[in-house]
Amino acid sequence: MEEEINLANDGATSRDIFDWNYVLWEVRLTLLAAGFFIYLGVFLLAHWLSSWISASYCALSAKEKVFWNIGFTRGVFGVQSCVAGLWALLIDPVFQADKVYSQQNWSWFHCLIAAGFFLLENIFVHVSNIVFRTFDVFLVVHHLLSFGGLLGLITNIKSGHYLPLMGLLLEMITPSSCISKVLLKTGYANTLFWKANHWVHVHIEHCRMVITYHMWWVCISNWNDVVENLGLPYFIILFMGLSTLTLILNPYWTYISTQWLFDPVDRNFPHTAVKNRSSGKLNGEMFQKKRI
């Protein structure tokens, strides 16, 4: 009897986590800010842990350290997005029954936290472009459209959450991407584990394309309802984002990932990547010296 009461209390507690009045602006903005600072904390934690653990990280330039920590931050966000997206796609009965108008408290929570993450990402991208004098047009377009889509969800509280959650599911690529880049930077790009992880990475790139087609199917089969539910400005952003992903970003990133499998060189830092790839023992020696 006591066990049943405890289980009931645990279920109520898990529901209470998402039990907010999302109609209120202050609630939506608070959770957006929470997402921003949570993932800023992940970024800083990645820097602190990497500085303490990895000699290879300490040998990187400032720009490479920033990209390393952003990769970890994206990887953590990818885990959250994958759980939320798969739950909506495969399990939640409300989203299974209605893919246009349905909302859930838990989906509000995840979408608002994700909006905070993409706000942080946009700041990272633009500041790093200014400081390091770089410009990745694909990344800039991706993050602007992602944040724009979630911002439309925040301002239009009647819009359904299924399509935004499928958009979050596309971030499932980031954990394997993070692992690949860290192993590459630490000189382990020729190991079996790196190759297995990157095979998974390429496979997930193809899964992302399938999910994008699924989003098109939902939009086309419910065209009038989707336009009415989202509102014209938000629908235009969604249409632009889906079109860009389908025609440009997904094919390009799939090509780059496949190429990377056979030639493991970081395209952002090709010379450093080649150096690390051929000096795995040096990284190991540096790590041993640091421990001493």
Each residue of 124-166: pLDDT tens digit? 888 888 888 877 787 888 888 888 888 888 888 899 999 999 9
Average pLDDT of the chain?
85
Range with the poorest average pLDDT among 118-122, 171-175, 234-238, 270-274? 270-274
Tokens standing for residue 246: 């389908």
> Mean of the pLDDT values across residues 266-283?
50
Q: Is the pLDDT of residue 270 over 80?
A: no
- Rounded to an integer, what distance in angstroms lies between the CA atom of residue 278 and that of residue 133? 28
- Rounded to an integer, what distance in angstroms lies between the CA atom of residue 249 and that of residue 244? 6
Segments in the chain forming alpha helices (H): 2-17, 25-53, 55-58, 62-86, 93-97, 105-132, 137-155, 162-169, 174-185, 192-221, 223-230, 232-244, 250-262, 270-277, 280-291
Tokens standing for residue 92: 């939640």
Tokens standing for residue 200: 């998974």
pLDDT digits (tens, 9 = 90+) for 224-254: 999 999 988 889 888 998 999 999 999 999 9
**Dihedral of the CA atoms 141, 200, 204, 254 (nearest 10)?**
50
pTM of the entire predicted model = 0.85
- Rounded to an integer, what distance in angstroms lies between the CA atom of residue 138 and that of residue 121? 14
Tokens standing for residue 159: 């819009």
Closest listed residue to residue 194, CA positions, set 207, 217, 210, 178:
178
Is 6 or 161 the better-scoring residue by pLDDT? Answer: 161
Asked if 43 and 66 count as a contact pair (C-beta separation under 8 A), the reply is no
The proportion of the chain whose per-residue pLDDT surpasses 70, expressed as a percent, equals 85
Whole-number pLDDT of residue 268: 65
> Mean of the pLDDT values across residues 11-20?
66
Cβ neighbours of 251 (radius 10 Å): 13
The DSSP annotation for 78-143 comes to HHHHHHHHHIIIII-HHHHH-SSS---HHHHHHHHHHHHHHHHHHHHHHHHHHHHT---HHHHHHH
Whole-number pLDDT of residue 237: 87
* Buried/exposed code over 68-100 (b: 16+ C-beta within 10 A; e: otherwise): bbbbbbbbbbbebbbebbebbbeebeebeeebb
Whole-number pLDDT of residue 6: 44
Is 187 or 165 the better-scoring residue by pLDDT? Answer: 165
The DSSP annotation for 132-163 comes to HT---HHHHHHHHHHHHHHHHHHH-TTS-SHH
Whole-number pLDDT of residue 283: 43
Categorize the per-residue pLDDT at 178 as very low, low, confident or very high, splitting at 50, 70 and 90. Answer: very high
Closest listed residue to residue 184, CA positions, set 265, 261, 254:
265
- Rounded to an integer, what distance in angstroms lies between the CA atom of residue 69 and that of residue 130? 18
> Mean of the pLDDT values across residues 162-190?
92
Q: Is the pLDDT of residue 199 over 70?
A: yes
**Dihedral of the CA atoms 123, 126, 131, 137 (nearest 10)?**
150
Q: Is the pLDDT of residue 170 over 50?
A: yes
- Rounded to an integer, what distance in angstroms lies between the CA atom of residue 33 and that of residue 205? 30
Q: Is the pLDDT of residue 288 over 70?
A: no
pLDDT digits (tens, 9 = 90+) for 205-224: 999 999 999 999 999 999 99
> Mean of the pLDDT values across residues 70-81?
95
What's the angle, vertex CA 233, arms to CA 228 and CA 236, rounded to 5? 90
Whole-number pLDDT of residue 149: 83
